[in-house]
Amino acid sequence: MRTEFRWRPALKGLVLACAAVLAIGPGSAGAQAPPAGAPPAPDAKAPVYSQSGPPPPPPLSPVEKLVTALPPPQPGGGPPMLPLAADAPMPSADPHDLQGTWIHNQPLQFRMQRDMYGVLVPYNMEGAKVLARRVNSLKNGAPFINASAICRPPGPQWQRDLNFPFQIFQSKDWIEFVFEEYHGRWQLILDPAKAPRPAQKNYMGYSVAHWDGGTLVVESSEFKQPLWLDVDGTPLSANGKIVQRIRKVDNGERAPFLEIVSTFIDPTYYTRPWSVVRTYGWNPDLTVFTEYNCEEQIGDPSVRADAGLVPEPQD
Amino acid sequence: MLIIKSRPRPGIGSVLVRFLLAAGVLASAEALPATPNFEGVWLIASPTNTLKPLSGSIPFTAEGQKQYQENKRLRAKGAFDDYDITLSRCNSPGTPRLMLNSERFKIWQRFGVLTFDFEWNRALRQIDASGRPPKADMMGQGLIPTMTGTSKGHWEGDTLVAETTNFSDRTLLDELVPHTLDLKVTEHLRLLDPETLEDRITIADPAYFKRPWDAAVTYKRQPAALFPEDVCLDRHEAHQPVFPPK
């Protein structure tokens, strides 16, 4: 004999059971209604999640305390991005062709305080100390020497972050970025067999790239010296590595851009890899660069070669 | 490699062809000349530190001769920063001295702009042959004379004609010859053959030269290559030559 499940009585029983649970509720036994207009009295036995608002954040670690106590960075800015002319040429539709003239179209970040997900940069104590030392050196009126200040190539991240145009040229064997600022150059090698490893380390490192679908993945390492990733000196050790994922985005609104996600891998200064993202607007009208000739000032034999800056202590 | 061609001003050659097409003399539009492509890696055919006139000697004015002799005196004295801040500071050699450099350079030709990317110190110069109006100059940078000057070009058939003005007077034409702020350099660049590029340079500076005078430099095409990262200031700090030996 088949037994049918009698759902109506079961449902009724379920509803009654839920009402009983809600009527009992934690802390409701013996509680009296608060006076009209007053906030409900706090209940010491109530768990945190029953109060209004999110739970308080965990206490800062010693590293986070050190970093967050630093003077705030200067607000970033950049030149206004003018719209493209109606007859301006557009980039190639080929996702593997990045050629053209581009410019960082977001405000310059003087200090990368959070990653692309809004999480605090994961310094270890060593990295936090280096950052703090660099930031405080500026505050104390004795800023440290860094590549940019003495007219040396500043490394790929700082070079790209500046709000000045660059051109991209590419062949099947390599891709070259040529920058207005610092008359800089960044070489990405697609076929290492065609480009011998340099005899000595470069300021811009050694960058090998490959295509992953429509994304160019670039691994940069073997830097000549430790890097300042930004103006305030977010550090990358000379043994650090930057993995850049570059793709071209065209939403059909005559405003194509490059997106570059940079992941910093450096156990010397960070507890784990972390990433930032930048966009670079297409603008062929910026192909004619303004001359950048920092050697005229920095190379002046009548002034100090360190431009009046202070050597950074080497740990 | 992708080349995005600009629309150059028509030279006499293309104007003539269009007329002949319209007159039914030429059979097809394929006879229209395309903008020549100078892209590639180039190296000066005959290295030299001096810009030699095609005929005779440099037609100095009295003032120009005086400054030239002063430069020679300062060189003999080793007072390089007093007359040649390229040697003393790695300052950009500027135009036309960059075109005498003994190392390689690349020419990129995009959106009507030719970018010369030098192996020496990653130096750059550009010739704008796009015919487009200059970009907005919100910071007034165009008011500042530069080492390489401002170069505007147009195509005349197979020849790029570039006129450069707005020079700083802190450079030399070569290792000794001076110039003033009023210098004007006119270049006629063309391929003599697929492997040879010629730069015919006309120098005009009335304060220092009695009349314009011409020089010519040729370059040979080189294999495609990535240039090493050259930082002149590092060599200078290490007391090595600013211009590496040829």
Question: What is the tens place of the pLDDT at every residue in A73-108?
Answer: 988 887 777 788 888 999 999 999 999 999 999 999
* pLDDT at residue A79, rounded to an integer: 72
* pLDDT at residue A44, rounded to an integer: 56
Average of per-residue pLDDT across A261-271? 98
B162 vs A contacts (CB less than 8 Å): none
B147 vs A contacts (CB less than 8 Å): 291, 293, 296
Its domain, for residue B153, covers 39-237
- CB atoms B226 and A189 under 8 Å: yes
CB-based contact, A79 to chain B, within 8 Å: yes
CA dist., res. A101 & res. A257, Å (int):
10
Of the partner residues A173, A285, A293, the one whose CB lies closest to the CB of residue B147? A293
Average of per-residue pLDDT across B186-215? 98
Does B34 reside within a domain? Answer: no
Q: Which residues contact A82 (CB under 8 A, 6 or more apart)?
A: A283, A285, B136
| Window from A23-32, A300-309, B125-134 with minimum mean pLDDT | A23-32
Residues in chain B: 246
In chain B, what percentage of residues exceed pLDDT 70? 85
Q: Which residue of A has its CA nearest to B121?
A: A183
Return phi, psi of residue A160, to 5°: -75, -30
Beta strand pairing call for A185-189 and A206-212: parallel
What is the nearest CA distance from B108 to chain A, expressed in angstroms?
8
Cβ contact B142:B152 at 8 Å: no
| Window from A43-47, A48-52, B108-112 with minimum mean pLDDT | A43-47
In chain A, what percentage of residues exceed pLDDT 90? 66
Does the pLDDT value for residue A12 go beyond 90?
no
Does B246 reside within a domain? Answer: no
CATH code assigned at B227: 2.40.128.20
Does B80 reside within a domain? Answer: yes
**Could you identify the residue written with the tokens 């990368």?**
A112
- From A288, A182, A101, A168, select the one nearest B164 (Cα to Cα): A288
Query: What would you measure as the largest C-alpha separation in chain A, in angstroms?
Result: 108
Q: Which residue of B has its CA nearest to A184?
A: B122
* pLDDT at residue A51, rounded to an integer: 63
| Window from A195-204, A232-241, B92-101 with minimum mean pLDDT | A195-204
Residue-wise pLDDT for B88-144, tens only, equals: 999 999 999 999 999 999 999 999 999 999 999 999 999 999 998 877 676 776 778
DSSP of B91-144: ----TTGGGG-SS-EEEEEETTEEEEEESGGG-EEEEE-S-PPPPP-TT-GGGS
CB-based contact, A201 to chain B, within 8 Å: no
Does B15 reside within a domain? Answer: no
* pLDDT at residue A35, rounded to an integer: 43
B11 vs B204, higher pLDDT: B204
Q: Where are the beta strands (DSSP E) in A222-269?
A: 227-228, 235-236, 241-249, 257-265
Q: Which residue of A has its CA nearest to B6?
A: A89
CA dist., res. A73 & res. A112, Å (int):
9
Does B7 reside within a domain? Answer: no
Cβ contact B157:B15 at 8 Å: no
Q: Which residue of A has its CA nearest to B112?
A: A287
Count up the domains in chain B and report the number: 1
Residue pairs spanning A and B at CB distance below 8 A: 116
Does the pLDDT value for residue A4 go beyond 50?
no
Interface test with A, best of B89, B104, B242 (most A CBs within 10 A): B89
- From A111, A114, A138, A116, select the one nearest A231 (Cα to Cα): A111
Does B209 reside within a domain? Answer: yes
Sign of the CA dihedral A252, A282, B114, A185?
Answer: negative
Average of per-residue pLDDT across A237-258? 94
- CB atoms A97 and B113 under 8 Å: no
